[in-house]
Amino acid sequence: MSKLDSDIIVIASGPAGMAAAISAAQGGVRVIVFEKAATTGGTGNMGMGPLGIESRHTRAKQFKPTRDEAFEIFMDYTHWRADARLVRAYLNKSGDTIHWLEDLGVEFVEPASYFPTAYPTWHLIKPATGRPGPMASGTMMKIMTEKAKELGVQIMLQTPVRKLVKKDGKITGIIAEDQSGNDVEASAKAVIIATGGFGNNPQMIKKYTGYDVGKDMHPFRIPGIEGDGIRMAWEAGAAATDMSMEMIYLMPDNMSLPPQVHEAFRQPHLLVNLLGQRFMNEAVMPNATFTGNAIAIQKDRCAFLFFDENIKKQMETDFDFRNIVFPITRFENSDQAIQDVLGQGYGHLFVADSLEELAEKTGIHFDGLKQTVEEYNQFCEKGYDELFNKPHRYLRPIKGPKYYVGRHFPSAYGSLGGIKINDRTEVLDKKWEVIPGLYAAGTDACTIYGDSYVFVLPGNTMGFALNTGRMAGENAAEYIKTA
Ligand X SMILES: Cc1cc2nc3c(=O)[nH]c(=O)nc-3n(C[C@H](O)[C@H](O)[C@H](O)COP(=O)(O)OP(=O)(O)OC[C@H]3O[C@@H](n4cnc5c(N)ncnc54)[C@H](O)[C@@H]3O)c2cc1C
Interface residue list for ligand X (CB under 6 A): 11-17, 34-37, 42-44, 46-50, 160-161, 194-196, 220, 222, 224-225, 228, 413-414, 442-443, 459-463, 465
Q: In what order do the strands lie in the sheet with 154-156?
A: 154-156, 31-34, 8-11, 190-193, 434-440, 426-428
Calpha distance 175→185 (Å, rounded): 5
Calpha distance 320→266 (Å, rounded): 10
- Shortest distance, position 181 Cβ to ligand X, whole Å: 14
Calpha distance 390→411 (Å, rounded): 24
Amino acid at 111: P
Dihedrals φ, ψ of 123, to 5°? -90, 100
Quick one: which of 53, 80, 86, 78 has its CA closest to 68? 53
- Shortest distance, position 20 Cβ to ligand X, whole Å: 9
- Shortest distance, position 461 Cβ to ligand X, whole Å: 3
Dihedrals φ, ψ of 161, to 5°? -80, 135
Helix H or strand E segment including 405 = strand 403-416
Report the first-to-last Cα separation within the chain, whole angstroms: 26
- Shortest distance, position 59 Cβ to ligand X, whole Å: 20
338-347 burial string, b = 16+ CB within 10 Å, else e?
beebeeeebe
Pairing state of beta strands 403-416 and 349-352? antiparallel
* Cβ proximity to ligand X, 296 vs 472, nearer residue: 472
- Shortest distance, position 340 Cβ to ligand X, whole Å: 23
* Cβ proximity to ligand X, 17 vs 437, nearer residue: 17
* Cβ proximity to ligand X, 277 vs 411, nearer residue: 411
* Cβ proximity to ligand X, 16 vs 364, nearer residue: 16
**Do 483 and 475 meet the contact criterion of CB atoms below 8 Å apart?**
no
* Cβ proximity to ligand X, 15 vs 406, nearer residue: 15
Q: 259 preceded by cis ω (within 30°)?
A: no
- Shortest distance, position 100 Cβ to ligand X, whole Å: 16
- Shortest distance, position 278 Cβ to ligand X, whole Å: 29
Helix H or strand E segment including 34 = strand 31-34
Residue count (the chain)? 483
Calpha distance 239→369 (Å, rounded): 48
- Shortest distance, position 71 Cβ to ligand X, whole Å: 18
β partners of residue 249: 410
* Cβ proximity to ligand X, 229 vs 406, nearer residue: 229
- Shortest distance, position 458 Cβ to ligand X, whole Å: 7
- Shortest distance, position 293 Cβ to ligand X, whole Å: 18
* Cβ proximity to ligand X, 108 vs 220, nearer residue: 220
Calpha distance 122→129 (Å, rounded): 19
* Cβ proximity to ligand X, 106 vs 338, nearer residue: 106
- State whether residue 23 is helix, strand or coil: helix
* Cβ proximity to ligand X, 418 vs 437, nearer residue: 418
Helix H or strand E segment including 18 = helix 15-26
* Cβ proximity to ligand X, 283 vs 454, nearer residue: 454
